[in-house]
A = this chain, B = another copy of it.
Protein backbone atom coordinates (compact mmCIF):
# COMPACT_ATOMS: atom_id res chain seq x y z
CA UNK A 1 0.00 0.00 0.00
CA UNK A 2 1.09 3.50 -0.80
CA UNK A 3 1.97 5.48 2.33
CA UNK A 4 1.75 9.23 2.85
CA UNK A 5 5.50 9.21 3.33
CA UNK A 6 6.02 7.57 -0.10
CA UNK A 7 3.80 10.16 -1.75
CA UNK A 8 5.66 13.00 -0.06
CA UNK A 9 9.05 11.58 -1.06
CA UNK A 10 8.10 11.03 -4.71
CA UNK A 11 6.57 14.49 -5.10
CA UNK A 12 9.66 16.05 -3.51
CA UNK A 13 11.90 14.39 -6.14
CA UNK A 14 10.52 16.73 -8.77
CA UNK A 15 12.96 19.30 -7.33
CA UNK A 16 16.74 19.12 -7.71
CA UNK A 17 17.49 20.04 -4.10
CA UNK A 18 15.45 17.09 -2.81
CA UNK A 19 17.01 14.73 -5.38
CA UNK A 20 20.46 15.81 -4.18
CA UNK A 21 19.63 15.50 -0.48
CA UNK A 22 18.04 12.07 -0.88
CA UNK A 23 20.37 10.91 -3.70
CA UNK A 24 17.29 9.49 -5.42
CA UNK A 25 15.46 10.02 -8.72
CA UNK A 26 12.30 8.76 -10.41
CA UNK A 27 11.99 6.56 -13.52
CA UNK A 28 8.58 5.70 -15.01
CA UNK A 29 7.35 2.99 -17.36
CA UNK A 30 8.41 -0.64 -17.68
CA UNK A 31 10.70 -0.19 -20.67
CA UNK A 32 12.83 2.51 -19.06
CA UNK A 33 12.84 0.83 -15.63
CA UNK A 34 14.02 -2.45 -17.24
CA UNK A 35 16.92 -0.61 -18.87
CA UNK A 36 18.02 0.87 -15.53
CA UNK A 37 17.95 -2.63 -14.02
CA UNK A 38 20.09 -3.93 -16.88
CA UNK A 39 22.62 -1.15 -16.27
CA UNK A 40 22.92 -2.12 -12.60
CA UNK A 41 21.37 1.03 -11.16
CA UNK A 42 20.40 0.42 -7.55
CA UNK A 43 16.66 0.31 -6.91
CA UNK A 44 15.35 2.09 -3.84
CA UNK A 45 11.62 1.41 -4.24
CA UNK A 46 9.24 0.25 -6.94
CA UNK A 47 5.52 1.02 -7.16
CA UNK A 48 3.56 -1.19 -9.58
CA UNK A 49 -0.03 -1.74 -10.56
CA UNK A 50 1.17 -5.18 -11.78
CA UNK A 51 3.57 -6.45 -9.14
CA UNK A 52 4.16 -9.74 -11.00
CA UNK A 53 5.90 -7.94 -13.87
CA UNK A 54 9.26 -7.26 -12.20
CA UNK A 55 8.76 -9.84 -9.44
CA UNK A 56 10.80 -7.93 -6.83
CA UNK A 57 8.91 -8.56 -3.65
CA UNK A 58 11.05 -6.93 -1.00
CA UNK A 59 11.40 -3.50 -2.63
CA UNK A 60 8.11 -3.43 -4.47
CA UNK A 61 4.74 -2.00 -3.48
CA UNK A 62 1.46 -2.97 -5.13
CA UNK A 63 -0.55 0.14 -5.92
CA UNK A 64 -3.82 0.92 -7.68
CA UNK A 65 -4.22 2.89 -10.90
CA UNK A 66 -5.54 5.85 -8.97
CA UNK A 67 -2.50 5.69 -6.63
CA UNK A 68 -0.27 5.80 -9.71
CA UNK A 69 -2.10 8.82 -11.09
CA UNK A 70 -1.47 10.54 -7.77
CA UNK A 71 2.30 9.99 -7.76
CA UNK A 72 3.17 10.01 -11.46
CA UNK A 73 4.81 13.02 -13.17
CA UNK A 74 3.24 11.96 -16.49
CA UNK A 75 -0.11 12.84 -18.05
CA UNK A 76 -0.50 9.18 -19.02
CA UNK A 77 1.21 7.08 -16.31
CA UNK A 78 2.67 3.76 -17.45
CA UNK A 79 1.99 0.94 -14.89
CA UNK A 80 5.23 1.31 -12.85
CA UNK A 81 7.10 4.08 -11.06
CA UNK A 82 10.56 3.36 -9.68
CA UNK A 83 12.85 5.31 -7.40
CA UNK A 84 16.52 4.62 -8.12
CA UNK A 85 19.62 5.80 -6.26
CA UNK A 86 21.70 8.50 -7.97
CA UNK A 87 25.02 6.70 -8.61
CA UNK A 88 28.44 7.89 -7.42
CA UNK A 89 30.44 10.01 -9.88
CA UNK A 90 32.14 7.86 -12.52
CA UNK A 91 35.49 8.49 -14.17
CA UNK A 92 35.21 10.18 -17.58
CA UNK A 93 36.50 7.89 -20.35
CA UNK A 94 38.73 10.31 -22.25
CA UNK A 95 39.88 7.65 -24.69
CA UNK A 96 36.66 8.27 -26.66
CA UNK A 97 34.90 11.30 -28.09
CA UNK A 98 33.15 13.35 -25.38
CA UNK A 99 30.16 15.64 -25.75
CA UNK A 100 30.27 18.96 -23.85
CA UNK A 101 27.18 21.05 -23.07
CA UNK A 102 27.63 24.66 -21.96
CA UNK A 103 24.56 25.87 -20.04
CA UNK A 104 21.92 23.63 -21.64
CA UNK A 105 18.59 24.73 -20.24
CA UNK A 106 15.75 22.68 -21.66
CA UNK A 107 15.16 19.26 -20.05
CA UNK A 108 13.55 17.85 -23.22
CA UNK A 109 16.65 18.83 -25.20
CA UNK A 110 19.02 17.21 -22.72
CA UNK A 111 16.97 14.00 -22.68
CA UNK A 112 16.90 13.83 -26.47
CA UNK A 113 20.65 14.51 -26.64
CA UNK A 114 21.33 11.66 -24.17
CA UNK A 115 19.24 9.33 -26.38
CA UNK A 116 21.08 10.47 -29.51
CA UNK A 117 24.49 10.06 -27.83
CA UNK A 118 23.51 6.52 -26.84
CA UNK A 119 22.62 5.83 -30.51
CA UNK A 120 26.01 7.12 -31.67
CA UNK A 121 27.97 5.40 -28.90
CA UNK A 122 29.03 8.55 -27.07
CA UNK A 123 29.23 7.31 -23.49
CA UNK A 124 30.24 10.50 -21.65
CA UNK A 125 28.49 13.86 -21.64
CA UNK A 126 30.10 16.71 -19.72
CA UNK A 127 27.81 19.53 -18.62
CA UNK A 128 28.75 22.92 -17.20
CA UNK A 129 27.53 23.35 -13.63
CA UNK A 130 24.74 25.73 -14.70
CA UNK A 131 23.15 23.11 -17.00
CA UNK A 132 19.79 21.46 -16.30
CA UNK A 133 20.04 18.42 -13.98
CA UNK A 134 20.02 15.07 -15.81
CA UNK A 135 17.86 13.46 -13.09
CA UNK A 136 15.08 15.99 -13.69
CA UNK A 137 11.96 13.85 -14.44
CA UNK A 138 11.51 15.47 -17.87
CA UNK A 139 15.11 14.61 -18.82
CA UNK A 140 14.71 11.02 -17.63
CA UNK A 141 11.46 10.74 -19.60
CA UNK A 142 12.77 12.09 -22.90
CA UNK A 143 16.05 10.13 -22.62
CA UNK A 144 13.87 6.96 -22.66
CA UNK A 145 16.25 4.65 -20.79
CA UNK A 146 19.43 5.96 -22.43
CA UNK A 147 20.34 7.79 -19.21
CA UNK A 148 21.15 4.34 -17.80
CA UNK A 149 23.93 3.90 -20.37
CA UNK A 150 25.37 7.41 -20.78
CA UNK A 151 27.51 8.89 -17.99
CA UNK A 152 26.78 12.58 -17.27
CA UNK A 153 29.30 14.64 -15.31
CA UNK A 154 28.75 18.19 -14.07
CA UNK A 155 31.85 20.33 -13.64
CA UNK A 156 33.47 23.72 -14.29
CA UNK A 157 33.63 23.31 -18.06
CA UNK A 158 36.05 26.19 -18.66
CA UNK A 159 38.51 24.85 -16.10
CA UNK A 160 38.16 21.32 -17.45
CA UNK A 161 38.79 22.39 -21.04
CA UNK A 162 41.79 24.55 -20.18
CA UNK A 163 43.38 21.60 -18.33
CA UNK A 164 43.13 19.30 -21.36
CA UNK A 165 45.31 19.22 -24.45
CA UNK A 166 43.05 17.00 -26.58
CA UNK A 167 41.06 18.09 -29.63
CA UNK A 168 38.53 20.75 -28.58
CA UNK A 169 35.84 21.66 -31.08
CA UNK A 170 32.97 24.10 -30.61
CA UNK A 171 29.75 24.49 -32.59
CA UNK A 172 28.96 28.07 -33.62
CA UNK A 173 26.66 29.82 -36.10
CA UNK A 174 29.72 31.10 -37.98
CA UNK A 175 32.14 28.15 -37.99
CA UNK A 176 33.47 26.00 -40.84
CA UNK A 177 30.88 23.77 -42.56
CA UNK A 178 30.77 20.23 -41.14
CA UNK A 179 30.67 18.99 -44.73
CA UNK A 180 33.85 20.77 -45.77
CA UNK A 181 36.00 20.53 -42.66
CA UNK A 182 38.36 17.80 -41.71
CA UNK A 183 37.43 16.78 -38.19
CA UNK A 184 39.72 14.44 -36.33
CA UNK A 185 37.44 12.65 -33.95
CA UNK A 186 38.87 9.53 -32.49
CA UNK A 187 38.97 11.40 -29.23
CA UNK A 188 38.52 14.92 -27.91
CA UNK A 189 35.46 16.97 -27.04
CA UNK A 190 32.67 18.45 -29.13
CA UNK A 191 30.98 21.37 -27.34
CA UNK A 192 27.47 22.79 -27.86
CA UNK A 193 26.14 25.94 -26.19
CA UNK A 194 22.96 27.18 -24.57
CA UNK A 195 19.69 27.17 -26.59
CA UNK A 196 19.34 30.97 -26.74
CA UNK A 197 22.90 32.24 -26.41
CA UNK A 198 25.18 29.52 -27.75
CA UNK A 199 28.62 28.90 -26.24
CA UNK A 200 29.52 31.47 -23.56
CA UNK A 201 32.24 33.96 -24.42
CA UNK A 202 34.43 32.74 -21.56
CA UNK A 203 34.60 29.30 -23.12
CA UNK A 204 35.10 30.35 -26.73
CA UNK A 205 38.88 30.83 -26.40
CA UNK A 206 39.32 27.25 -25.24
CA UNK A 207 37.84 25.86 -28.45
CA UNK A 208 40.47 25.60 -31.16
CA UNK A 209 38.18 24.61 -34.01
CA UNK A 210 34.79 26.15 -34.77
CA UNK A 211 32.27 24.22 -36.85
CA UNK A 212 28.74 24.85 -38.09
CA UNK A 213 25.85 23.19 -39.89
CA UNK A 214 25.33 25.11 -43.15
CA UNK A 215 21.86 26.59 -43.66
CA UNK A 216 20.47 25.25 -46.92
CA UNK A 217 18.42 28.21 -48.09
CA UNK A 218 18.94 31.70 -49.41
CA UNK A 219 17.11 33.47 -46.55
CA UNK A 220 18.45 34.65 -43.22
CA UNK A 221 15.89 32.50 -41.41
CA UNK A 222 15.62 30.56 -39.22
CA UNK A 223 18.38 31.98 -37.01
CA UNK A 224 19.41 28.55 -35.78
CA UNK A 225 18.43 24.90 -35.55
CA UNK A 226 17.02 23.32 -32.40
CA UNK A 227 19.91 22.30 -30.13
CA UNK A 228 19.19 18.57 -29.97
CA UNK A 229 18.69 18.50 -33.75
CA UNK A 230 22.12 20.12 -34.18
CA UNK A 231 23.71 17.46 -31.99
CA UNK A 232 22.01 14.71 -34.01
CA UNK A 233 23.10 16.17 -37.36
CA UNK A 234 26.74 16.59 -36.34
CA UNK A 235 27.04 13.19 -34.63
CA UNK A 236 25.44 11.56 -37.67
CA UNK A 237 27.96 13.28 -39.94
CA UNK A 238 30.87 12.25 -37.70
CA UNK A 239 29.59 8.67 -37.47
CA UNK A 240 30.47 8.15 -41.14
CA UNK A 241 34.08 8.93 -40.25
CA UNK A 242 34.40 6.94 -37.03
Are B232 and A216 in touch, CB under 8 angstroms?
no
Is A48 an interface residue, CB under 8 A from the partner? Answer: no
* A228–B142 alpha-carbon span in the complex (Å): 13
Copies in the complex: 2
Are A119 and B237 in touch, CB under 8 angstroms?
no
Known: A216-B242, A221-B35, A221-B146. A116 touches B237 (CB 8 A): no
Is A190 an interface residue, CB under 8 A from the partner? Answer: no
Q: Give the residues from 182 to 215 in chain A that come closer than 8 angstroms, CB to CB, to chain B.
A: 213-215
Minimum distance in angstroms from A133 CB to a CB of chain B: 17
Size category of the A interface is 35 or more
A219 contact set on B, CB distance < 8 A: 149
Which of these, B144, B213, B226, contacts A236 with CB under 8 Å?
Answer: B213
A231 contact set on B, CB distance < 8 A: 229
Known: A145-B221, A221-B146, A221-B149. A239 touches B216 (CB 8 A): yes
Are A240 and B179 in touch, CB under 8 angstroms?
yes
Is A42 an interface residue, CB under 8 A from the partner? Answer: no
Are B217 and A144 in touch, CB under 8 angstroms?
no
Is A120 an interface residue, CB under 8 A from the partner? Answer: yes
Minimum distance in angstroms from A174 CB to a CB of chain B: 15
* A182–B228 alpha-carbon span in the complex (Å): 27
Are A116 and B236 in touch, CB under 8 angstroms?
no
Enumerate chain A interface residues (CB-CB to B < 8 A): 35, 108, 112, 115-116, 118-121, 142, 144-146, 149, 179, 213-219, 221-223, 225-226, 228-233, 236-237, 239-240, 242
